[in-house]
Amino acid sequence: MRLTELVEREDGGQWHCGVCQWRCSLAEGETGRCLVRAATAEGIEALNDGMISAANFGPIEDHRLWHFFPNTQVLAIGGWGYAFPADQQRGLYGGVPAEESQRRRLEPERAAAVALERLCRGVVWSYSDPSVSVEYITEMLQYSRAGSRYTALVSSGYSTIAALDTYGHYLHGISLELRAFDDAAYKRLAGVEHWRGILEVVAHARQRWSCHVEVTTRLHPNVNDSIEQIQALVGWVRESLGPNTPWHVLPGDAGAAAAATVARARRLGHEAGLHYVYGPEPGQTTRCHQCGHTLIERGAASGRVVGITDGRCHSCGADPQMRLSIFKR
């Protein structure tokens, strides 16, 4: 049994969980909102400890990290559990599988070893929410860094700062799925009303731990695509993460309306001062924000660095602030 370390005992005998931003208060026998942590007499047990739901090899670009070790292969791992109720309802891995035959175990040390054996440049946690798997992620990142692999998370950002700080030293990159920039829209898309803590956690990762961050937003017409929301979102990215932060804008629905929404949002992003705004099309070239020189050429799957020398534009010397080294600045 693996007990959660980020926990406090309350006066009434309940356990207060500090892993994600729900911060559940649980009596013995109760399960948290994540569905993968349950209170016992000794503390809060991580029901999903050591269990994975998926593991695949592929290009890092698959995880919307386009300025992060381009054209490298990565081991992508996912676990069981989501922090957001909306994801639990529609996701494949909302809770711990009841059937033993569905359960797969892969110890963190072995995951890092597999990445090394398969000559992967890095390891990324994807397919499920890292906010509810802090123990596994911390160990996986530690072992991966010990093997000189880069590390990254595809994240909702719903971890607490205390959870982030347990593994921040070992983390190189975050692909943040930022659903919206409005209370009602976040409630509809994720099932949470209090979402602004996400912004604090990601800004902390950038400032305290020098994590490379890229932001992805899926736009749904008449839900999270208003001009006011988009302007507020890109303004936060520019001011808190920096104008060189890539913003990936994708359609959340099919049809012409969604495509038009994406096109308008990309224009607003550029107008607001973001230097790198990407849409859903494959093969998008990355050009220097200062001189327009081609930095990365992309095919359907991955990219190829062609115009960067020592981390700077080969033509004009501008710094696009890409993460190309495992050594943090």
Domains and CATH numbers, the chain: 7-46 (no CATH), 51-282 (3.20.20.70), 283-324 (no CATH)
Dihedral sign from CA coordinates of 179, 151, 129, 206: negative
Sign (positive or negative) of CA dihedral 200, 204, 157, 28: negative
Q: Which of 123, 181, 194 is nearest to 154 (CA)?
A: 123
Amino acid residing at 78: G
Identify the pLDDT of residue 301.
72
Q: Residue 2: count other Cβ atoms within 10 Å of its Cβ.
A: 14
Q: What is the mean pLDDT of residues 269-298?
A: 96
pLDDT at 94 over 50: yes
DSSP string covering 151-212, please? EEEEE-S-B-HHHHHHHGGG--EEEEE---SSHHHHHHHHS-S--THHHHHHHHHHHHH--E
SS3 52: strand
Number of other CB atoms surrounding residue 276 within 10 Å: 23
Tokens representing 71 are 């054209």
Average pLDDT over residues 120-124: 98
Tell whether the model's pLDDT for residue 220 goes beyond 80: yes
Number of neighbours of residue 303 by Cβ within 10 angstroms:
23
Taking alpha carbons only, the member of 87, 201, 56, 65 closest to residue 134 is: 201
Please tell me the distance from the alpha carbon of residue 44 to that of residue 38, in angstroms, as a whole number: 5
Confidence of residue 92 (pLDDT cuts 50, 70, 90): very low
Residue 198: count other Cβ atoms within 10 Å of its Cβ: 23
Q: pLDDT tens-digit profile of 66-82?
A: 999 999 999 999 999 89
Specify the range with the lowest mean pLDDT, choosing from 74-88, 148-162, 174-188.
74-88
- pLDDT, tens digit, 9 for 90 and up, residues 3-47: 999 999 999 899 999 999 999 999 999 999 999 999 999 999 999
Tokens of 140: 């996986």
* Alpha-carbon span 217 to 220, nearest angstrom: 10
Count the Cβ atoms, other than its own, within 10 Å of residue 222.
Answer: 9
